[in-house]
A = this chain, B = another copy of it.
Amino acid sequence: MDGDAKATGLELRSLIRKSGALELSLAKVAVPEPGPDQVVVQVQATPINPSDLGLLLGPADMSTATSSGSGAGIVVSAKVPAASLPFLAARLDQAMPVGNEGAGTVIAAGSAEAAQALRGKTVSMIGGAMYAQYRLIKASDCQELPAGTTPAEGASWFVNPLTALGMTETMRREGHKALVHTAAASNLGQMLNRICLEDGIGLVNIVRSAAQAKTLRDIGARHVCDSTSPSFVEDLTQALVDTGATIAFDAIGGGTLASQILTCMEMALNKSAAGYSRYGSSTHKQVYIYGSLNTAPTELVRAYGMAWSVGGWLLTPFLQKIGRAEQQRLRQRVVAGLKTTFASHYTRVVSLQEALQLDNIAAYAKRATGEKFLIDPSKA
């Protein structure tokens, strides 16, 4: 493709109009010439993570979705509730590119040595706009993959692996010795189990079915609590006693689960308390909500004293906090373990056009644990 300045590629765009209409489409954009320190990557694998859906679908009601056009001309429309529009002011009427991370092959490189060194290499990327056939990116923002690692293996190299490592790092930095994870049978949850087994960290897995519990036990998880079991509260409290976990990472967000976890932590702490404190245990109990699989309100039944906190947790501020050197250490660990500890599994591989088919949207918009889409933009 070098030298062919008129080549074009498809790029997925998400637009929310002031009127409240969401429109998803594929824009035809010119493949740019790389600057001296840049490369052009043909994207071959880019996952649809829950964290991409906020930008892709916004708060649109996907039960109203309709589709028109065909092939690369497909346009999906849906309605965004009027009450959500004030929160979207800064993105209204702008066609936003989507896709946090991906991997592919470097097909053009700038003149700088670092860029030239990547010619023909398979690289992983982070930085948005990955739902595209071609991505212009700085060479220094590419992560070269070890020989024999495919783009599909390197596509989910950043969001899930660094989120999982971010959880154990946050646990340590905030003075906790073990942790709780919800929706724990997910790709991310399985990864977290492998990390905790490797690092000797106590992990309490909360799942929502017996089948998910089995999935985790089959990969060696030691503490698995099924929230649909009648003995859930007792099981969770006992697992918290056994591990000493006082921090939880919750992907669900809505409903009473976050509060139940705090209640069980308090009961676990009280089992070993020396005397009565009118304000409950003085040990700080933390739940970080990092996802919103249940978009209903979070309901906190405050029966756990005053030493508690529930808050949002997001990868980017965490990475900013730990600094560049520590980030590099974590990235190296991920790249070394892409086929083992940090392996991801996909249930469907789709093209850009297929990613905009209503049946596929309905499937990934459900955010169902165990269902995971990979887009291959090089697929016709």
Question: Closest B-chain residue to A270, C-beta based?
Answer: B89
Give residues 275-293 of A contacting B (CB, 8 Å): 275-280, 282, 289-290, 292
A299 in contact (CB, < 8 A): yes
Q: Is there a chain B Cβ closer than 8 Å to A273's Cβ? A: yes
Residues 245-287 of chain A, each 1 if its beta carbon lies under 8 Å from chain B, else 0: 0000000011000010000001100100111111110100000
Do residues B312 and A309 form an inter-chain contact, with CB atoms below 8 A? yes
Quick check: B311 and A302 within 8 Å, CB to CB? no
288-316 of chain A: CB within 8 A of chain B: 289-290, 292, 295, 297-303, 305-314, 316
Q: Considering the complex of A and B, which 4 residue pairs feature the smallest CB-CB distances, nearest first?
A: A309-B311, A90-B276, A306-B312, A91-B276
- The CA-CA distance from A298 to B262 in the complex, in Å, is 13
- Contact A90 B275, beta carbon cutoff 8 Å: yes
Name 20 A/B residue pairs within 8 A (Cβ), A-sorted: A54-B278, A54-B279, A84-B303, A86-B267, A86-B270, A87-B266, A87-B267, A88-B276, A89-B270, A89-B273, A90-B273, A91-B276, A279-B316, A289-B302, A297-B300, A297-B302, A298-B300, A298-B302, A302-B312, A310-B311
Give the oligomeric copy count. Answer: 2
A87-B280, A275-B90 known; A312 vs B301 contact (CB < 8 Å): no
A8 within 8 A of B: no
Task: Judge whether A94 is part of the interface by a CB distance below 8 angstroms.
Answer: yes
Contact B302 A253 (CB under 8 A): yes
In the bound assembly, the distance between CA atoms of A313 and B305 in angstroms comes to 10
Q: A55 near B: Cβ within 8 Å?
A: yes
**Would A311 and B311 count as touching, CB distance under 8 A?**
yes
Contacts of A55 in B (CB 8 A): 278
Kindly supply a per-residue 1/0 record for chain A positions 80-98, scoring 1 wherever the CB is within 8 Å of any chain B CB and 0 otherwise: 0000101111110010100
A312 / chain B contacts, CB cutoff of 8 Å = 302, 305-309
- Could you say which residues of chain B place their CB within 8 Å of the CB of A292? 302
**Interfacial residues of chain A within 106-127, with CB under 8 A of chain B in the complex:** none
A290 to B297, CA, bound (A): 21
Inter-chain CA distance A295–B301, complex, in Å, is 8
Q: Which residues of B contact A308 (CB under 8 A)?
A: 311-312
Q: Does A148 contact B (CB under 8 A)?
A: no
**Known contacts A54-B279, A309-B310, A310-B311; 7 further A-B pairs (Cβ under 8 A):** A87-B270, A94-B276, A253-B302, A279-B314, A298-B299, A307-B312, A308-B311
The answer, yes or no, to whether A323 is at the interface (CB within 8 Å) is no
Query: Is residue A230 within 8 Å, beta carbon to beta carbon, of the partner chain?
Result: no
- A300 contacts which chain B residues (CB < 8 A)? 297-300, 310
Tell me if A317 is interfacial: C-beta within 8 Å of chain B: yes
- Residues of B contacting A295 in the complex (Cβ-Cβ under 8 angstroms): 302
Q: How far is the CA of A317 from the CA of B285 in the complex (A)?
A: 14
